């Protein structure tokens, strides 16, 4: 081996066992011999060649930076005046409809979700009779037999018994009516932890129903706006649709706030 070849080999061979940090440095460059060196009749066995990364099994790894999740669900507020919206939709009517749905939820909570179910809670319960809807107290007599039992006498309209039982089961009051002749017996559950939890679940069910109605109303007004394309600019039409969603979302949050408050009341928690 020539002197130059021996020196080159002795300097480069120890690098093969160097630490990872050295490998990372080496991975950024190539160690080669130029044609001028090979022309000096050095045998290939006398010189150690380093391939880019592969010889020392070095790798440069690049990791994707994590996305900023702070603004993931952040929605941009739509700037549309009420006057601009009025060109495409009846804003007052829309707000009144949204507001009424939330108010209906509030009234259902007051009437149907209390720890002590009173006979008065059943009086306004809607019952279908011969295709029309009537309050329960117009088709049957309601009285409390004992603190734990309410009796509904439907002798005047016995054909309404199935509808009465169905309305009570679907009222969200966690009641299980039982028919006896022309009467319906409604046992009132005791105020247990399980009863409280069932009422809290009913509060969520009623809230979800309200949110579905709000979604339906929202889509109804959006369809009306879409049908008026060409009356105003495309941008304004699109922004009005976004504004309708934004307004509906505000009422959805209000309904969720009522649900959370009602659940805390029923479960008697202060969290």
Token pair 């939890």 in the structure block, residue: 197
Q: Quick check: 15 and 22 in contact, CB under 8 A?
A: yes
Q: What pLDDT sits at residue 263?
A: 93
Q: Rounded to 5 degrees, what are φ and ψ at 103?
A: -65, -40
CA atoms lying within 13 Å on the CB side of residue 35: 0
Of how many residues is the chain composed?
271
40: helix, strand or coil:
coil
- With 0-12 CB in 10 A as exposed, 13-18 as middle and 19+ as buried, what is 222? middle
Count other C-beta atoms under 10 Å from residue 146's C-beta: 9
Q: Quick check: 113 and 195 in contact, CB under 8 A?
A: no
Q: What pLDDT sits at residue 104?
A: 95
pLDDT beneath 50, residues of the chain = 3-4, 15-23, 26-64, 69, 270-271
Shortest CA distance to 259 belongs to which of 109, 112, 107?
A: 109
Question: CA 42, 48, 52, 54: dihedral to nearest 10 degrees?
Answer: 140
Distance, CA of 110 to CA of 117 (rounded, Å): 11
Element (H, E) at 132: strand 132-135
Q: What pLDDT sits at residue 32?
A: 42
Q: What pLDDT sits at residue 13?
A: 53
Tens of pLDDT, residues 69-127: 455 555 667 788 888 899 899 999 999 999 999 999 998 888 778 765 556 678 888 89
**Entry pTM:** 0.54
């Amino acid at each position: 081996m020539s002197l130059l070849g021996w020196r080159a080999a002795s300097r480069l061979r120890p690098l093969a066992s160097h630490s990872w940090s050295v490998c990372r440095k080496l991975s950024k460059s190539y160690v080669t011999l130029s044609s001028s060196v090979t022309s000096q009749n050095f045998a290939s066995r006398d010189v150690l060649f380093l391939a880019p990364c592969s010889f020392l099994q070095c790798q440069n790894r690049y990791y994707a930076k994590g996305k900023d999740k702070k603004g993931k669900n952040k929605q941009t507020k739509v700037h549309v005046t009420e006057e601009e919206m009025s060109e495409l939709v009846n804003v007052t009517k829309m707000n009144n409809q949204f507001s009424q749905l939330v108010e209906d939820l509030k009234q259902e909570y007051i009437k149907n979700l209390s720890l002590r179910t009173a006979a008065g809670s059943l009086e306004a319960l809607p019952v279908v009779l011969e295709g029309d809807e009537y309050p329960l107290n117009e088709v049957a007599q309601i009285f409390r037999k004992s603190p734990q039992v309410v009796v509904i006498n439907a002798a005047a309209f016995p054909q309404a018994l199935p509808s009465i039982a169905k309305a009570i089961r679907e009222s969200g009051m966690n009641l299980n009516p039982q028919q006896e002749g022309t009467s319906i017996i409604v046992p009132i559950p005791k105020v247990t932890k399980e009863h409280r939890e069932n009422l809290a679940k009913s509060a969520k069910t009623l809230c979800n129903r309200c949110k579905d109605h709000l979604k339906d109303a929202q889509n109804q007004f959006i369809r009306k706006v879409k049908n008026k394309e060409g009356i105003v600019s495309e941008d304004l039409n699109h922004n009005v649709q976004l504004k309708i969603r934004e307004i509906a979302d505000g009422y959805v949050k209000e309904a969720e706030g009522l649900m959370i408050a009602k659940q805390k009341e029923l479960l008697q928690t202060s969290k």
